């Protein structure tokens, strides 16, 4: 059986998907990156249930660490997140016109017309309104982030939270708690503020046309989903596997661009090491990363003068 592997290595989470020839998901993994994309990718490979009769004929990587993991696995496709998310979503929902994606560290909007990406935008430097922001506020309030959505969904009086900046949001949250607002209404206010932050800072006047698909880890939050529909006044579809769309999309691309080779099933046996150093041969003082695979130097990154 021919199989294709897709890995989405983000700053907060790493996702892995194994699909068959028809694009069906055979196995999937979602776990924390914990600051080490190489180790997170190893864990994904270890936890994926790969059928014994599976011949891996394509590997794709996407996400912030896509290049280094692509090099590690000798991937036949290395693509940016915009392309991967669009391909995955269009495959499952061909009519989609707007993709709302909110992940752990960034958020993005992708506009699609006739199955082609026509425009996109991403959040700026601030992480306000992302999954990591929600997680930090959940910890502050003593609530599990997985409970946030249900609590927010049950509240009918969300508190106004200034969420354009993480620092201001935290200050506002503390202030609202001190003057007596309930925890449930504060949580609902946080979810609502994430939607407003996204629409004001990421969309910036872009027209969100239906069908609208909501994906990324935050799409699992019922409260955020509720306020997207309420504020937009439109139906917003949250896909069951929306948190895996990047990995799924790049797996589909790996299938499409398969060159016929069969990857060995011993991917976990690859010895992959990176060493950082600084070159002082000129005034650039370049910070170099040397990459070793099975004890062999295969690449050096960071050279500004072209020496490496």
Report pLDDT digits (tens) over 136-152.
777 778 887 778 778 88
What 3-state DSSP class applies to 220? helix
Give the span between the Cα atoms of 82 and 248, in whole angstroms: 13
Query: Average pLDDT of 116-127?
Result: 81
pLDDT at 118: 94
Q: What is the CATH number assigned to the segment(s) 94-238?
A: 3.30.420.40
C-alpha 232/C-alpha 224 separation (Å) is 12
**pTM as predicted:** 0.87
Neighbour count for residue 94 (Cβ, 10 Å)? 10
Rounded distance between C-alpha atoms, residue 219 and residue 240, angstroms: 9
Between the CA atoms of 87, 89, 90 and 96, what dihedral angle is there, to the nearest 10 degrees? -140
The CATH number of the structural domain formed by 2-87+247-269 is 3.30.420.40
Strand partners, 6: 17, 60
> What is the spatial distance between Cα 223 and Cα 277, in angstroms, rounded to a whole number?
46
2-87+247-269 and 94-238, same CATH topology: yes
Length of the chain: 308
Q: How far apart are CA 296 and CA 270, in angstroms?
A: 11
Domain ranges of the chain: 2-87+247-269, 94-238, 271-308
pLDDT at 166 over 70: no
Coil, helix or strand at residue 266: coil
Token pair of 70, please?
A: 């692509």
Chain segment 252-296, per-residue pLDDT in tens: 999 999 988 898 767 777 888 888 889 888 888 899 999 888 888
CA 180 – CA 50 distance, rounded (Å): 52
184-229 tens-digit pLDDT: 888 888 888 888 888 888 888 899 999 999 998 888 888 889 999 9
Return the structure tokens found at 279.
Answer: 């070159």
Alpha-helix residue ranges (DSSP H) falling in the chain: 37-47, 66-73, 81-92, 131-141, 145-154, 166-178, 183-198, 222-232, 245-256
């Amino acid at each position: 059986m021919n199989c294709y592997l897709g890995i989405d290595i983000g700053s907060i989470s790493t996702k892995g998907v194994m699909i068959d020839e028809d694009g069906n998901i055979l196995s999937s993994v979602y776990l924390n990156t914990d600051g080490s994309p190489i180790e997170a990718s190893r864990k994904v490979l270890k936890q994926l249930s790969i059928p014994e009769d599976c011949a891996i004929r394509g590997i794709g990587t996407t996400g912030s660490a896509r290049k280094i993991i692509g090099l590690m696995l000798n991937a036949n496709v290395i693509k940016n997140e915009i392309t991967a998310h669009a391909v995955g979503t269009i495959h499952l929902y061909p009519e989609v016109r707007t993709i709302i994606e909110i992940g752990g560290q960034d958020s993005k909007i992708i506009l699609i017309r006739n199955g082609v990406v026509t425009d996109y935008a991403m959040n700026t430097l601030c992480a306000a309104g992302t999954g990591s922001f929600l997680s930090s506020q959940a910890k502050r309030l003593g609530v599990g982030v997985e409970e946030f959505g249900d609590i927010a969904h049950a509240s009918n009086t969300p508190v106004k939270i200034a969420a354009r900046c993480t620092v201001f949001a935290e200050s506002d949250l503390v202030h609202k708690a001190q003057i007596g607002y309930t925890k449930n209404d504060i949580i609902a206010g946080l979810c609502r503020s994430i939607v407003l932050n996204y629409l004001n800072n990421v969309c910036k006047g872009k027209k969100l046309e239906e069908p609208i698909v909501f994906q990324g880890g935050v799409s699992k939050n019922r409260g955020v989903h509720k306020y997207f529909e309420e504020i937009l006044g439109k139906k917003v579809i949250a896909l069951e596997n929306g948190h895996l769309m990047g990995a799924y999309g790049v797996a589909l691309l790996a299938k499409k661009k398969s060159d016929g080779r069969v990857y060995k099933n011993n991917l976990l046996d690859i010895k992959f090491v990176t060493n950082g150093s600084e070159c002082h041969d000129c005034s650039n003082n370049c910070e170099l990363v040397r990459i070793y695979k099975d004890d062999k130097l295969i690449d050096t990154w960071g050279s500004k003068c072209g020496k490496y």
